[in-house]
């Protein structure tokens, strides 16, 4: 194509070709060349279009520079904001996870402690107090009847209140976190739009320029646009030059027809509908209409035969190449249209990246200014509630453990009581045996003393005056055993620090016993327990000892 333009231009400036001996061309031939030349001038529309394309490309480049600059500024800020946002979400999730785990552990501990307490209470319900410990007319009672369970109920109510408050705070936090996740999902959707736009821009930029090494899609797209604009400007300049050569060819055809006999009227007829003015813009397109109109209206200069032949020779050669020039202009405008589409596609891609970036930025701005403080506050609120209730739950755990220990101690004490009663019964049996043995010995001594006294009276009584010793005729003293009710162990142990204090205590106890009932006067009443009851109590104590070992 380049050769077509240069050849046509050179033919318009060089002479030679037709020999003076060759036949003069017919007017019809010249007129056909003129008509073809006039038709070729329609390429001016392509030149106009080329000028529009260059202008639009410059505008697109300017807009792309502004958009890319704004996008780059926003993206730098968005990266830090996104990183901070996901750090906040991670911390909130960590607080939620840690709170759920701690709360779950606390509930497990509460359940275990409550299960132990309830198991112990069940044991109290199932342990019936032996009838020998209670009045004869009383209905059977279990150990649980001696326990006030209101403390357990109050503790359960307090723990339930703490659990309910923690569950409510956790539910609020879970709701807040779900809303937070929804916000993040919206941001991720916006980021997907952004990535799609950047991938599209990158693919278009890569297709336009494989030499760019930048990794930023918008910068890559922007970097290819100046070279495309230069390409468009080059095509437009070349098309303007080609159009100039076509105009000169048309002028030459007009001149040749007018210098041919009978051609003036034909030339005026053919060129009569030429536009009155074809004005080009400031981008270098010639004032084609002015030149054509000037040539059409200019007076004819006389030409010699050789000059005429030389002009016709150039015209014929140019006519052969004019179609190629028209095709070259067509090819160039087609290439420009393709590049123009690429330029606008690059600009649209940059605008899409900018819009996607703005979408992410608007999401982040709205989230940061309105909802993010609430999500953070909800996490802090849950932490505060959990810290308060965790202290109460830990205190409740301690109380549950104390109650369990108390009731477990009650069970142990009851079994120990049975063993203690059995021990006292054995001691009582030993005391009774000692008393029986002592009574037998005292009776034997008494009988022996009475016999001896009587023998003395018989042998020596007649010889001794009765007033020498009044007691000479008395019978021996007799010893009686009195059962005295025992006082309080603590009082006896504290007061009886020596023999005198002990004797005083015993005398006081003996004085008190005289006013007591018959049973009390005989001493304490020890319940009579069967052997299997004692054996069972011993087995239970032994089993608990092994369990705690």
Backbone angles phi, psi at 24, to 5 degrees: -65, 140
Closest CA to 483 of 434, 431, 511, 523: 523
Mean pLDDT of 42-71: 88
Q: How far apart are CA 5 and CA 35, in angstroms?
A: 20
pLDDT at 80 over 60: yes
436-441, long-range: CB within 8 Å, 24+ apart, which pairs? 439/481
- The full set of domain ranges for the chain reads 2-392, 411-461+479-548
Q: Which of 184 and 403 is assigned the larger pLDDT?
A: 403
pLDDT of the residue at 162: 93
Q: How far apart are CA 513 and CA 493, in angstroms?
A: 19
Name the range with the highest mean pLDDT among 204-218, 309-323, 533-547: 533-547
CB atoms within 10 A of CB 393: 22
Name the least confident of 171-180, 252-261, 369-378: 252-261
Name the least confident of 182-196, 225-239, 244-258, 280-294: 280-294
Mean pLDDT of 308-316: 77
360-367, long-range: CB within 8 Å, 24+ apart, which pairs? 360/78, 360/82, 360/187, 360/190, 360/191, 360/194, 361/74, 361/77, 361/78, 363/183, 363/186, 363/187, 363/190, 364/78, 364/81, 364/82, 364/85, 364/187, 367/85, 367/183, 367/187
Closest CA to 187 of 380, 316, 359, 331: 359
Reduce the DSSP state of residue 128 to 3 states and report it: strand
Closest CA to 100 of 1, 186, 155, 171: 171
pLDDT of the residue at 13: 42
Name the least confident of 273-277, 304-308, 371-375, 541-545: 273-277
Mean pLDDT of 194-199: 74
pLDDT of the residue at 286: 45
pLDDT at 173 over 80: yes
DSSP code for 470: G
pLDDT of the residue at 388: 93
Two structure tokens written together for 510: 């003996």
At 195, is the pLDDT very low, low, confident or very high (cuts 50, 70, 90)? confident
Mean pLDDT of 447-452: 93
Alpha carbons within 13 A on the beta-carbon side of 346: 35
Mean pLDDT of 409-429: 92
Mean pLDDT of 492-512: 51
**pTM value?**
0.58
Would you mind telling me the total number of residues written for the chain in this entry?
Answer: 549
pLDDT of the residue at 212: 40
Q: How far from the centroid of its chain's Cα atoms is residue 302's Cα? A: 94
pLDDT of the residue at 277: 39
Q: How far apart are CA 30 and CA 8, in angstroms?
A: 17
At 399, is the pLDDT very low, low, confident or very high (cuts 50, 70, 90)? very high
If phi over 0 gives left and psi between -120 and 50 gives alpha, with beta otherwise, what is residue 454?
Answer: alpha
How would you class 348 by CB atoms within 10 Å of its CB: exposed for 0-12, middle for 13-18, buried for 19 or more? middle
Backbone angles phi, psi at 128, to 5 degrees: -85, 130
Q: Which of 449 and 204 is assigned the larger pLDDT?
A: 449
pLDDT of the residue at 16: 38
> What sign results for the dihedral spanned by CA atoms 308, 314, 320, 323?
negative
pLDDT at 415 over 80: yes
Name the least confident of 260-264, 377-381, 465-469, 509-513: 509-513
The residues, any chain, with a CB within 8 Å of residue 57's CB and separated by 6 or more, are 225, 228, 229, 232, 339, 340, 343
Give the whole-number percent of the chain exceeding pLDDT 90: 24
Mean pLDDT of 139-166: 91
Mean pLDDT of 225-246: 87
pLDDT of the residue at 184: 83
At 207, is the pLDDT very low, low, confident or very high (cuts 50, 70, 90)? low
Q: How far apart are CA 104 and CA 435, in angstroms?
A: 67
At 363, is the pLDDT very low, low, confident or very high (cuts 50, 70, 90)? confident
pLDDT at 28 over 80: no
Q: How far apart are CA 514 and CA 322, in angstroms?
A: 156
pLDDT of the residue at 22: 43
Element (H, E) at 319: helix 305-366
CB atoms within 10 A of CB 256: 25
Closest CA to 364 of 85, 178, 93, 87: 85
pLDDT at 167 over 90: yes
CB atoms within 10 A of CB 147: 18
Mean pLDDT of 167-176: 91
Helices and strands (DSSP H and E) totals, the chain: 13, 0
CB atoms within 10 A of CB 79: 10
pLDDT of the residue at 271: 65
pLDDT of the residue at 111: 93
CB 201 within 8 A of CB 349: yes
Q: Which of 292 and 61 is assigned the larger pLDDT?
A: 61
Two structure tokens written together for 274: 């030429």
Q: What is the dihedral of CA 255, 258, 264, 269, to 10 degrees?
A: -30
Q: How far apart are CA 160 and CA 16, in angstroms?
A: 116
Mean pLDDT of 337-361: 85
Name the least confident of 15-19, 196-200, 480-484: 15-19
What would the DSSP string read from start to end of 336-396? HHHHHHHHHHHHHHHHHHHHHHHHHHHHHHHIIIIIHHHHHHHHHHHHHHHHHHHHHHHHH
| Cα distances (Å, whole numbers) of residue 225 to 50, 135, 293, 375, 426 | 17, 110, 39, 45, 114
pLDDT at 510 over 80: no
pLDDT of the residue at 25: 61
Q: How far apart are CA 278 and CA 285, in angstroms?
A: 10
At 105, is the pLDDT very low, low, confident or very high (cuts 50, 70, 90)? very high
At 14, is the pLDDT very low, low, confident or very high (cuts 50, 70, 90)? very low
Name the range with the highest mean pLDDT among 102-111, 190-199, 219-228, 353-362: 102-111
At 1, is the pLDDT very low, low, confident or very high (cuts 50, 70, 90)? very low
Backbone angles phi, psi at 177, to 5 degrees: -70, -35
Mean pLDDT of 318-328: 84
Query: In the predicted model, what is the mean pLDDT of the chain?
Result: 78
């Amino acid at each position: 194509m380049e050769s077509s333009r240069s050849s046509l231009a050179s033919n318009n400036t060089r002479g030679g070709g037709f020999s003076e001996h060759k036949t003069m061309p017919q007017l019809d031939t010249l007129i056909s060349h003129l008509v073809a030349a006039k038709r070729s001038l329609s390429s001016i529309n392509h030149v106009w279009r080329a000028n529009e394309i260059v202008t639009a490309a410059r505008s697109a480049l300017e807009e792309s520079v502004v958009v890319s600059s704004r996008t780059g500024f926003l993206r730098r800020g968005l990266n830090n904001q996104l990183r901070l946002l996901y750090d906040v979400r991670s911390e909130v999730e960590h607080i939620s996870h840690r709170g759920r785990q701690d709360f779950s552990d606390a509930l497990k501990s509460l359940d275990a402690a409550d299960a132990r307490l309830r198991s112990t209470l069940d044991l109290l319900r199932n342990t019936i107090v032996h009838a020998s410990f209670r009045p004869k007319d009383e209905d059977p009672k279990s150990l649980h009847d001696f326990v006030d369970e209101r403390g357990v109920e109050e503790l359960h109510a307090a723990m339930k209140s703490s659990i309910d408050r923690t569950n409510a705070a956790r539910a609020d936090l879970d709701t807040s976190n779900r809303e937070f996740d929804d916000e993040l999902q919206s941001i991720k959707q916006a980021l997907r739009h952004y990535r799609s736009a950047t991938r599209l821009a990158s693919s278009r930029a890569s297709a336009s320029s494989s030499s760019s090494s930048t990794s930023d899609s918008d910068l890559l797209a922007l970097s290819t646009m100046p070279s495309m604009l230069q390409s468009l400007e080059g095509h437009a300049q070349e098309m303007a030059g080609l159009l100039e050569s076509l105009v000169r060819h048309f002028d030459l055809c007009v001149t040749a027809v007018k210098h041919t006999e009978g051609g003036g009227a034909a030339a005026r007829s053919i060129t009569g509908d030429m536009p009155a003015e074809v004005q080009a813009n400031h981008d270098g397109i010639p004032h084609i209409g002015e030149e054509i109109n000037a040539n059409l209206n200019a007076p004819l200069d006389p030409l010699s035969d050789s000059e005429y032949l030389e002009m016709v020779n150039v015209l014929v050669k140019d006519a052969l190449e004019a179609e190629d020039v028209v095709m070259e202009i067509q090819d160039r405008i087609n290439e420009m249209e393709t590049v123009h589409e690429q330029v606008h596609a690059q600009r649209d891609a940059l605008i899409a990246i900018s819009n996607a970036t703005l979408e992410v930025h608007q999401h982040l701005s709205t989230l940061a200014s309105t909802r993010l403080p609430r999500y953070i506050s909800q996490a802090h609120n849950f932490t505060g509630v959990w810290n308060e209730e965790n202290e109460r739950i830990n205190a409740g755990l301690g109380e549950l453990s104390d109650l369990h220990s108390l009731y477990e101690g009650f069970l142990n004490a009851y079994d120990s009581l049975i063993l203690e009663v059995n021990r006292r019964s054995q001691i009582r049996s030993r005391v009774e045996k000692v008393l029986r043995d002592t009574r037998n010995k005292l009776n034997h001594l008494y009988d022996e003393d009475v016999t001896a006294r009587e023998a003395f009276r018989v042998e020596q009584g007649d010889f001794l005056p009765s007033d020498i010793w009044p007691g000479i005729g008395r019978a021996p003293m007799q010893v009686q055993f009195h059962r005295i009710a025992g006082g309080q162990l603590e009082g006896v142990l504290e007061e009886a620090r020596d023999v005198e204090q002990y004797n005083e205590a015993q005398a006081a106890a003996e004085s008190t016993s005289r006013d007591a009932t018959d049973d009390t006067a005989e001493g304490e009443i020890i319940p009579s327990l069967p052997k299997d009851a004692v054996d069972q109590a011993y087995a239970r104590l032994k089993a608990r000892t092994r369990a705690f070992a």
